[in-house]
Amino acid sequence: MRKFSSYGSVSKKLHYYVPREELITQACRQLVGEDMDDGGHYITIWAPRQCGKSWIMREVLWRLWEDDRFHVLKLNLEHLKMMKDADRIAAAIGEDLIRKLNIENASVSGMNDFHTLFLKEAIKKPLILIMDEFDALTEESIAGFAGVFRNIYNIRREDPAPSGQKEYLLHAVALIGVRAVLGVENAKGSPFNVQRSVNIPNLTDEEVSAMFGWYEQESGQKVEQE
């Protein structure tokens, strides 16, 4: 029998859960884009902690993996929260990208050459990049990565070639964190448009009731309303 989970990512096999299909579909649509050739969007996924951001984006990740037009990669950055130097952080994330995307003859020494990993000479098809716990990074690093992504976004937007033939193949980016910490939407010329951001709200009364109804059906026990 399933259980309720109040911490960590929910398992769809072990726990009662709310599908949140509308949010998952919305995030997928933003990342793939309205037109493949135009590219996807650079977005933030935000909510207070323990509201299901990581679980929803895991579901998005698995769904996008089924689309072989893209490389789809999710990086968890929480392990870098004790690292202070922006160039060291960029190099560490760069090493992760190189390994997971099998990029040949590449290296990253810092923030200045981080962008080279997204050139069409480096990766073979458009990349959808999801960066979880982005708000664990230092403010300097957040500003540095936002600048790199802003430059790539602007170059891609001015390039008339289809998404898979542009100079940079960074098709879409999702930065997951707490909105007040991210702050990247407020930067001048930022591609992270607040109107395209995905807010993960708390469960509604209807969603909670549906989950309790599922439990009642399986257990045969009545949940008393307060």
Domains of the chain: 21-32+40-210 (3.40.50.300)
Is the distance from CB of 189 to CB of 147 less than 8 angstroms? no
Per residue in 44-66, pLDDT (tens digit) is 888 777 677 778 888 999 999 99
What is the residue type of 200? I
Q: What's the pLDDT score for residue 195?
A: 54
pLDDT (mean) for 182-188: 56
Question: Which band of pLDDT confidence, cut at 50, 70 and 90, is reported for residue 221?
Answer: confident
Nearest Cα neighbor of 44 from 55, 33, 32, 53 is 53
Whole-number Å distance between alpha carbons of 170 and 126: 6
Q: How far apart are CA 19 and CA 216, in angstroms?
A: 18
